[in-house]
Chain A
Amino acid sequence: MLKPTFALDFERPLLALQSKIGELKELSGGAKVDFTDEILKLERKARKLQAEIFSDLTPWQIVQLARHPNRPYTLDYLKALFTDFVEIEGDRRFAADRAIVSGFARFDGAPVLVMGHQKGRSTKENMVRNFGMPRPEGYRKARRLFDLAERFRLPVLIFIDTPGAYPGIGAEERGQAEAIAVNLEVMSGLSVPTISTVIGEGASGGALGLGVTSRILMLQYAWYNVISPESCSSILYRDAGQAKKSAEGLKLTAKDLSGFGITDETVQEPLGGAHRDHALAARYVGEAIRRHLAQLKLLSPEQIVADRYRKYRAIGVFTSDE
Chain B
Amino acid sequence: MAWFSKEKKLKSKGGPVEAQPAPAKKGEGIWNKCDGCAEVIYKADLEKNWNICPLCGHHEMMPVRRRFDLLLDPGTFQELDADLTPQDPLGFSDAKKYKDRLKATAKTTGLRDAFVSGTGSIGGHPVSIGSFAFEFMGGSMGSVVGEKVARVIDRAYERRIPCIVFSSTGGARMQEGIFSLMQMAKTSAALNRFRAVRKPYISVMLHPTTGGVAASFAWLGDVVIAEPKALIGFAGPRVIEQTIREKLPPGFQRSEFLLEHGMIDAIVPRLEMRDKLAQILSLLG
Contacts and interface: CB of A to CB of B under 8 A. Distances in A.
B94 A236 contact: yes
A176 B215 contact: yes
Nearest to A190: B192
A205 B90 contact: no
B192 A224 contact: no
Interface string B232-261: 011100011001100011001100000001
A237 interface: yes
Interface stretch (A16-24, A64-72, A280-288, A305-313): A305-313
B86 interface: yes
Given A227-B13, A227-B14, A318-B144, A185 B191 contact: yes
Given A172-B253, A175-B261, A312 B182 contact: yes
Interface in A183-242: 184-186, 188-189, 204-206, 208-209, 211-212, 224-227, 231-232, 235-237
Interface stretch (A39-47, A84-92, A95-103, A245-253): A245-253
A322 B85 CA distance: 11
Interface in B79-136: 81, 83-87, 89-90, 92-95
B85 A205 contact: no
A164 interface: yes
Interface in B176-215: 176-186, 188-193, 210-212, 214-215
Given A231-B14, A315-B182, A176 B220 contact: no
Interface in A292-322: 308-309, 312-313, 315-322
Nearest to B83: A321
B219 A164 contact: no
B218 interface: yes
Interface residues of B, number: 67
Nearest to B224: A178
Nearest to B92: A249
Nearest to B93: A249
Interface stretch (B15-23, B24-32, B60-68): B15-23
Contacts of B85: 318-321
A182 interface: yes
A172 B13 contact: no
A177 B15 contact: no
Residue from the set B144, B188, B215, B249 with the largest chain A CB neighbour count within 10 Å: B215
B186 A315 contact: yes
A257 interface: yes
B150 interface: yes
A227 B16 contact: yes
B223 interface: no
Contacts of B50: none
Given A172-B234, A177-B214, A225 B92 contact: no
Nearest to A308: B189
A168 interface: yes
Nearest to B150: A313
A313 B146 contact: no
A235 B248 CA distance: 20
B234 A169 contact: no
Contact of A212 (B146, B188, B212, B218): B188
Contact of A208 (B83, B177, B184): B184
B268 interface: no
Given A165-B215, A176-B215, A226-B177, 17 more contacts: A167-B235, A172-B234, A172-B253, A181-B214, A181-B218, A181-B220, A184-B184, A186-B192, A205-B212, A212-B189, A226-B176, A235-B16, A260-B179, A262-B179, A316-B143, A318-B84, A318-B147
11 contacts: A181-B215, A181-B217, A205-B215, A231-B15, A235-B16, A235-B174, A250-B174, A257-B178, A313-B150, A315-B186, A318-B144
